[in-house]
Amino acid sequence: MKIAVAMSGGVDSSAAAAMLKAEGHDLVGFTMQLWNQRRGLSTGEDGEPLPSRCCSLDDVYDARRVAEGLGFPFYVLNLERDFERDVVAPFVQSYLEGETPIPCVACNSRLKFASLDRMALSVGCEKVATGHYARVRFDEGSGRYRLLRGRDGRKDQSYFLWELTQEQLSRSLFPLGELTKGEVREAARRHGLNVAAKPESQEICFVPDGDYAGFIDRYLEAEGREDERPPGGEIVDAEGRVVASHAGVHRYTVGQRRGIGVSRPLPLYVVSVDAEANRVVVGHEDELLSHEFTAAGINWVAFDEPAREVRADVRVRYRHQEAPATVIPLGGARVRVRFDEPQRAITPGQATVFYRGEEVLGGGWIVKESSQ
């Protein structure tokens, strides 16, 4: 087949390309230039951009070297404007509204896959391959493409792919889905790739130092929107008693313990963030537990929107161990999720994914209860 390969410059996508090339496929490599590191929004004391292990210029160079070494054409897609509009700006806005966003989901489905899919079709590619640890299968009985977990449970990335449409899944290829991380690195070494020992990217690519609040402050200043920077306000307990003050709601997230500035015999955690009232609510750990939540923007992968409730194992963040729950359709691409047992720190802005065994049934975005 003629296959478009997403080349991030890391070991996973490079190994995927090498494996496909060895199988005799005709490849076209694409790297997406997403964030202008020279904007100066994340810099060190020397004023130079902080190093990022994702989407940096070094990654572009690494991807090009891999493509040249394997002998297939390589192109760089400049998506900086789209990335800022569709990923960075919503990320900032979500924090300003008291949420904790996860930009990698939107980046994968709304930007990377959508852009690469269009480019792949324009150059006559039948499939789009990426280095994700996930699997896709066609089910003849239902006539649908199924999205499955990667075999390596520690690296499974199906959580980030629940927004993919049936059309996108029909052209998706995940060569690493059946492999472990160790097997992928060994494949990279076997094919002589210079990135075989390259470290993994852990941080959000446009916030390499992990200081989200600092990035938001700098972003608003650069955009001439300083007046939107959240002001200081009150930290209160569940009864509304003021226990401390905060320097902006964008500095807090549900479940946070450190940096609250309150000393008590029992540790306090952020229970909720009320941006409208400019308040941060804190409480003890048991106050983080909740039986249910509402999610919006639902995309059903395994079937069309169901008319009845669905039993599933539900994950409320990437590192969360999914738990049994009932998913109740509300209409309008919204659901109510009720866990059998209460779960900790269910956070607005995060993605929730519904599983049945190895299969992704669908997913959505956790929303604040006031938005029902």
Q: Which residues are catalytic?
A: 107, 205
> C-alpha angle 65/50/106, rounded to 5°?
75
d(CA 269, CA 254): 8
d(CA 215, CA 211): 6
Q: Cβ neighbours of residue 240 under 8 Å, at least 6 residues apart?
A: none
What tokens appear for 291 in the block?
Answer: 């039986």
d(CA 367, CA 372): 8
